[in-house]
Amino acid sequence: MKIAVGFDHAGFPLKQTVLESVRAAGHEPIDLGTNSAESVDFPDYAEKVGRAIQNGEAERGIIVCGSGIGACIAANKMKGVYASICHDTYSAAQGVMHDDMNVLCLGGRVIGPELAKALIPAFLNAEYQGNEAGGERLARRVGKIHKLENEEKV
């Protein structure tokens, strides 16, 4: 899989760990920056990752900002982007398996390299189970999420 990865300045210290972890899991990272610890705005990198998914350039994404929260909020504003902050392996895998999550958000000031090395393969190795036999319950719930996303705003 191609994995879009983006970092703000607070996520930059984890950049090499994330890139190496994506490669070690057998996937190809698409590095969308940033390239230094100089201050930048996290929504810009969340947008880059989200656009890569929307345009079919990447199947999944990883965004790292200071807490992971801002990047998660920004990414979820984009149609077809289903992002969650996960700082445990259960959530990183379960978000994909049950909720069809396609973007992992991490807090560069919250987790260290060793936890990142565990979270990334948990996220990348998981597969959505709503399309499998017995996955009707999951598909129904994800369908409701898509309905919310597509409803006209009043």
pLDDT tens by residue, 8-26: 999 999 999 999 999 999 9
pTM of the model: 0.96
Confirm whether 81 is domain-assigned: yes
- Confirm whether 98 is a catalytic residue: yes
Over 90: is that where the pLDDT of 151 sits?
no
Confirm whether 28 is domain-assigned: yes
Question: For residue 96, what are the contacts with CB-CB under 8 A and spacing of at least 6?
Answer: 102, 123, 126, 127, 128
User: Residue 154: its pLDDT value, please?
Assistant: 66
Average pLDDT of 93-112? 98
- Confirm whether 9 is a catalytic residue: no
Average pLDDT of 68-74? 98
Q: Residue 95 belongs to what domain range?
A: 2-128
CATH code of the domain in which 30 resides: 3.40.1400.10
Over 70: is that where the pLDDT of 62 sits?
yes
* Domains contained in the chain, number: 1
Residue 36 CB burial class (10 angstroms; 0-12, 13-18, ≥19):
exposed
Confirm whether 139 is domain-assigned: no
Confirm whether 11 is domain-assigned: yes
Average pLDDT, the chain: 96
Determine what percent of the chain is predicted with pLDDT higher than 70: 99
Confirm whether 134 is domain-assigned: no
Confirm whether 145 is domain-assigned: no
Confirm whether 26 is domain-assigned: yes
Distance CA 54, CA 28 (A): 17
Distance CA 70, CA 85 (A): 10
Confirm whether 34 is domain-assigned: yes
Reported as a single tens digit per residue, the pLDDT across 117-133 is 999 999 999 999 998 88
User: Catalytic: which of 65, 72, 86, 105?
Assistant: 65
Distance CA 111, CA 93 (A): 17
